[in-house]
Amino acid sequence: MEYIGYLASIIIGLSLGLIGGGGSILAVPILVYLFKIHPEQATSYSLFIVGFTSMIGSFSHYKLGNLKIKSALVFAVPSILSLLFVRKIILPLLPDILFSIDDFDITKNLLIMIVFAFLMIATSVSMIRKSKKVKEAKEINFLILSIIGLFVGLIIGFLGAGGGFLIIPALLFFANLPMKQAVGTSLFIIFINSLIGFGGDLLGGVDLNYKLLLIISAMAIIGLFIGTQLSKRIDGAKLKPAFGWFVLVMGIYIIFKELFFK
């Protein structure tokens, strides 16, 4: 299964390179089901893989002039605070078994996977639906941008997901950025949030297989470069619905597997 996992890891970067998001939504399921890593630990792996890959992607966008630092920092600072709050305070307080229904235990790992699955389904719907034209805003709404950043930080902290499909709409509507700049700025925000969250996990003594972590990250970076090259020839907007259906099926699969086929 590990070899399949390595190949699947390419998709993480491929999606980031092609459509500026979606890679993080696949990282945790790949780590849990193909590499047999516990869900809570998988969120730490995911933070590094997605963060490192996004760092390289954001640097490429910076050279193209697609990175808006001020908007990124207004979004990133509150999201970092909420991210660290979740990972350092909330997650450690949750017991391994939250409660039981008859003989069925609702564990912390089960909760992480089910919430993740519902986020995948919600994300897939936004990808499948046709995008509406964004109305130009008169000015950047920094207050709403920072509030959304706070909310996204909670999701990143709990699930180890980059939150690209929440960040990009916020940058389009409230930072008034064109799509290419929204993608580049989103990758920069994901990079900051994910690697700071991962750093907090390291300080907390998380146990990691560094060889595995680096191999998966390398495969994701290969996917990023492939996706970036393909994006010059293929319209990412046309690929979003197909990728959305794939994410939807995976989300439904996770729910059924976790609830009925344990």
Going from the C-alpha of 10 to that of each of 50, 53, 172, 219, the distances in angstroms are 12, 11, 27, 5
* E-strand stretches of the chain: 97-101, 104-107
Portion of the chain with pLDDT greater than 90, in percent: 8
pLDDT digits (tens, 9 = 90+) for 80-96: 899 888 888 888 888 88
pLDDT of residue 215: 93
Q: Where are the domains of the chain?
A: 2-260
pLDDT of residue 91: 80
Going from the C-alpha of 239 to that of each of 23, 66, 172, 218, the distances in angstroms are 14, 21, 19, 24
* Position with higher pLDDT, 202 vs 101: 202
Q: Amino acid identity, residue 150?
A: L
Going from the C-alpha of 115 to that of each of 38, 120, 204, the distances in angstroms are 15, 9, 23
pLDDT of residue 78: 92
pLDDT of residue 104: 76
Mean pLDDT of 51-57: 87
Please list the helix, strand and coil fractions of the chain in percent, rounded to the nearest 5, in that order. 75, 5, 20
- Alpha carbon dihedral 243, 246, 248, 250, in 10-degree steps, equals -140
Rg (CA), the chain: 18
Residue 218: pLDDT band (50, 70, 90) is very high
Q: Residue 69 and residue 59: Cα distance in Å, rounded?
A: 12
pLDDT digits (tens, 9 = 90+) for 102-142: 777 788 778 877 887 887 787 778 777 766 554 554 567 78
CA quadruple 192, 51, 17, 170: dihedral sign = negative
Nearest Cα neighbor of 165 from 11, 10, 24 is 24
- The mean pLDDT value of the chain amounts to 81
pTM of the model: 0.76
How many CB atoms are closer than 10 A to CB 101? 7
Q: Which residues pair with 100 in a beta bridge?
A: 105
pLDDT digits (tens, 9 = 90+) for 165-196: 677 777 877 788 877 788 788 888 888 888 88
Residues 6+ apart with CB under 8 A from 107: 96, 97, 98
